Amino acid sequence: MPDFPRLKTGAVVQYPFTKISSFRTHVCRFLDGSEQRYSQRGKAFRRWIIPLSQLSEDELAAMNGFFHFNQGETGHFSFHDPWDEITYDNCSLEVDEFLARFIQPGDCRVVLVVRQNWS
């Protein structure tokens, strides 16, 4: 399984980036007004919103190649979360479009959203 590409500095993301953890909870409401709650999945669902700026043309080309190799949302890869230093397998991109902005040489920008898939 391929890994999410690193920047030329060796970093996976640039700061600030956003990490979202969420759970799926089912709520069963009874006629007497009481509720019973239970988790539909025991694990957290994770998403990372990764804005990248001041990328070199080579870094942008590597991100673009990675996006096309994975065919957008179709592919699966490992993502190393710098927040908790854990590598999450079975991740995917959350978009099917690669939107990059070329500002000037040495300043290309792109936003990628990575999600952890349920196993």
Distances, alpha carbon 108 to alpha carbons 10, 25, 70, 82, 100, in Å: 18, 40, 21, 22, 7
Please check whether residue 102 is in contact with residue 108, taking contact to mean a CB–CB distance below 8 angstroms.
Answer: yes
pLDDT at 107: 85
pLDDT at 30: 93
pLDDT at 119: 62
pLDDT at 117: 87
pLDDT in tens, 11-70: 888 888 899 888 778 889 999 999 998 877 667 788 999 999 999 889 999 999 999 998
Q: Where exactly are the structural domains of the chain?
A: 18-29+36-116
| Global confidence as pTM | 0.75
* Distance, CA of 36 to CA of 44 (rounded, Å): 20
pLDDT at 42: 67
Residue ranges with strand state E in the chain: 18-22, 25-29, 35-39, 45-55, 77-81, 86-93, 100-104, 107-116
pLDDT at 92: 94
